[in-house]
Amino acid sequence: MSAKVLDGKSVRDQILAELRPRIDKLKANHRPPGLAVILVGNDPASEIYVRNKIKTCGDMGIYSEKITLPDTISTEELLGIIEGLNQRSEIDGILVQTPLPKQVDKHRVLVSLLPEKDVDGFHPINVGYLVAGIPAPRACTPAGIMDMLRRYEIPLAGKKAVVVGRSDIVGKPMALMLLHQNATVTICHSKTQDLAGECRRADILVVAIGRAAFITRDFIKPGATVIDVGINRKPDAKLIGDVDPDAMKEVASAYTPVPGGVGPLTISMLMANTVRAAEQRLCSK
């Protein structure tokens, strides 16, 4: 039996379609949701990500502002811009695109956002809410993966889940979200002994390490669901994930392709976080 492809584009389209009537209602009762995106410097990958985020806002009827700043900016100058956005009532969400230049204190920037406007879900208060299982903005990529697993009706309760990678953006929040759905979760990283053995125990294997095709068939339990978060560019410019694509197809029961798997989910969940922030601000008036 061939493995099921978990189509991120299809899930993205479902999420965005469900958001449209909520956006229309906000417009009719108040104003459109508002998102400010801060881009520091001219990192080519960041420019593409920001362009896609702004374009999706336009397609969805979400008000957006792109704030482009020089890579010589100081931490204090950036904090001043964020404080101005915190005060503006028509801005529901603020996103600071990373990476930031070396002279900018990333932690101070992160905690300067109002938690309710932190649509990336990275503010320590929102991370604390995730740990406690309290509703708050959630990190977009793992939240999108959870939505995909739900829509494809992949059972999680009682299953062994292994997350390879411990970043604040994907690995740690992913493990917590799986834990909240009653999976038994192991987090693996560069110091893990017998990584292949740990991965082979997984019914759900989530890989986010940034190493092209590092996970081979020896790491995959037959019939597992494999979620490949990695996006790596090969010398011929083709994209490949962190998992060997042939191994996923041949050993897994379901898997996310690269491209077209996890990637499309991130921006759709950013839109969902922005709409939810706008709804909550309207309710609190």
- Give the distance from CA 218 to its chain's centroid: 27
Beginning with the edge strand found earlier in the chain, give each strand of the sheet holding 34-40 in spatial order. 63-69, 34-40, 93-96
Alpha-carbon gap, residue 180 to 133, rounded angstroms: 7
Please identify which of the residues 92, 118, 120, 242 carries the catalytic annotation. Answer: 120
Query: Catalytic annotation on 87?
Result: no
Query: Catalytic annotation on 249?
Result: no
Q: Alpha helix locations (H) across the chain?
A: 8-29, 44-60, 75-87, 106-112, 124-132, 140-151, 171-180, 195-200, 245-251, 263-283
Alpha-carbon gap, residue 101 to 71, rounded angstroms: 6
Cis amide prior to 257 (ω within 30 degrees)? no
Please identify which of the residues 97, 159, 172, 221 carries the catalytic annotation. Answer: 97
Query: Catalytic annotation on 172?
Result: no
Q: Which residues are catalytic?
A: 53, 97, 120
